Structure 1
């Protein structure tokens, strides 16, 4: 545990001992804050150098607008969208990008707000979905959305909410926003009473007027349409997102394929041959004859796929 996290946790616990409301108020600004972006790994630099770069602008966590860096490789009308996780960046998908482009796909990715080269210091789940919507405006329907960790949850929530994709792949993904809040609580060590206030504060601040945003920020309570094939990849020894999260996702999607691995942890999955092969096979696999009819959700209180962002 870093000194910063330990100090923050001590402060939240002390405030929470006096009042759960105070503890939650102190913890809330920390919840969406992102660490300083990591540099691009040397092995990934050649792939990123070949990317066609662009940007999209979304509302962002503060509703003031934030510019997001985008990347594109390959050509054609079969587009695969890649969504990275928290404290990560698009470059981590470099091994998968190379494989997909070699198989003839157009590949698009992005650095979410406060990640990689994108602007901002704070972000939240809906930002990912708004980027999905902006890129859908640019590229049309997706052949697949592939999400790692936090990006995997965004893929599940986004496609369940109206983002049009023939297939979905999650890699080391949590099942819902509750899992994110539980992990945050475990990291700072605050009480269940503070946790309950955190949930209330999170809902009221970002989803005012929505009686239960956690119902749609969940792949368990709002699973993908049955017509969308799902591949779930997760390592049994993942220390950041427990394997039980994959089991929860699979239980909510009886037709999904669950690929468990061992010894790859949370991030090494992204470059493992067994994972790359499984993703390529899933992206090329069969889908239903017709895309599912999914009604998009309200733009003011929930991420609206068609109206959430502008592009250039």
Structure 2
């Protein structure tokens, strides 16, 4: 835990004693809003700047969309929380070499898109809008929260031939739990946060904890998938990957890596190779054997 997180958590816990409602509102506001917008990293800039830039409009906010290619055989790439589309820069040349079109967007409140925050439902709606524009996706590649959103979208009718997840979060409940763990929030604030998410953020959803569980109703997702996860992920335990593999059985391949963590995995050669070996296995000439 960083010193800043420790100070914030201590302040919220202290405030919760005399003013639990105020502390709950503050914790909820922090949970909802990314603390920073990820910038384009130096190693990503050349690929980022040659993308064709488009947009979709969601709730009156302009969402920045990036395309590398002519639109044929689109591969949709979904980033995670506090991230941005440019994190997929290492994938783009590999996709282009195969005649595939890379597509990605900065979620609302992220990168160069408008707004201050986003939700998993907005991710789903953006993927639907891009489906209308580009048709069936050759592959969806998704990291962290983006992976949770990808399962939700596919279960709701998004059409894709295959799915690659990286550091996938199995169920949305992990996010408030991890937020509370990082800040060391007391039991009262933890429960208050979950109630606010359930009744305010997703009040239109009957049971968001079940609806946003990627292992729920697996029979509704028929695509083949590769689940890539690092055993040393310090934010999303590898148990999430094993749960997904168990839920989807023979439709899913599990590929584990070591020593890569969570936030920077999309730029790692082992992850890019693992994804591309599934997106276009004929291009590698080799068969990958995941370790367990």
**TM-score of the superposed pair, with normalisation by structure 2:** 0.89
Count of aligned positions: 281
* 1:280 CA drift (Å): 1.9
Match of 2:172 among 159, 170, 177: 177
C-alpha separation in 2, matches of 1:3 and 1:57: 38
1:262 corresponds in structure 2 to 258
Q: List per-residue Cα deviations over 1:114-147 (Å, max 9, x = no partner).
A: 1111112222222211211111111111111111
C-alpha separation in 2, matches of 1:190 and 1:213: 22
Note closer, same or farther for the CA distance 1:88–1:226 as it changes in structure 2 (3 Å cut): closer
Residue aligned with 1:254, SS: helix
Instruction: Verify: 1:191 aligned to 2:153, yes or no.
Output: no
Question: Could you tell me whether the CA contact under 8 Å between 1:79 and 1:105 is conserved in 2?
Answer: yes
* 1:20 CA drift (Å): 5.6
Structure 1 stretches lacking a partner, 5+ long: 60-64, 287-312
2:288 corresponds in structure 1 to none
Question: Could you tell me whether the CA contact under 8 Å between 1:82 and 1:108 is conserved in 2?
Answer: yes
* 1:260 CA drift (Å): 0.3
1:276 corresponds in structure 2 to 272
Note closer, same or farther for the CA distance 1:268–1:29 as it changes in structure 2 (3 Å cut): closer
Note closer, same or farther for the CA distance 1:224–1:12 as it changes in structure 2 (3 Å cut): farther
Q: List per-residue Cα deviations over 1:130-184 (Å, max 9, x = no partner).
A: 2111111111111111111111111112111221112111101111111111101
Higher RCO, Cα 8 Å, sep 6+? 1
C-alpha separation in 2, matches of 1:274 and 1:202: 36
Note closer, same or farther for the CA distance 1:52–1:76 as it changes in structure 2 (3 Å cut): closer
Residue aligned with 2:261, SS: coil
**TM-score of the superposed pair, with normalisation by structure 1:** 0.83
* 1:272 CA drift (Å): 2.9
Residue aligned with 1:156, SS: helix
Note closer, same or farther for the CA distance 1:138–1:31 as it changes in structure 2 (3 Å cut): same
Note closer, same or farther for the CA distance 1:247–1:227 as it changes in structure 2 (3 Å cut): same
C-alpha separation in 1, matches of 2:3 and 2:268: 33
Equivalent residue runs for 1:1-312 within 5 Å? 1-2=1-2, 4-18=4-18, 22-59=22-59, 65-223=60-218, 225=220, 227-255=222-250, 256-284=252-280
C-alpha separation in 1, matches of 2:224 and 2:143: 17
* 1:7 CA drift (Å): 3.4
Q: List per-residue Cα deviations over 1:65-103 (Å, max 9, x = no partner).
A: 221111001125311000011111111100111111111
C-alpha separation in 2, matches of 1:230 and 1:190: 36
Q: List per-residue Cα deviations over 1:188-246 (Å, max 9, x = no partner).
A: 21123332222221111122253311111111224363521111101101112221221
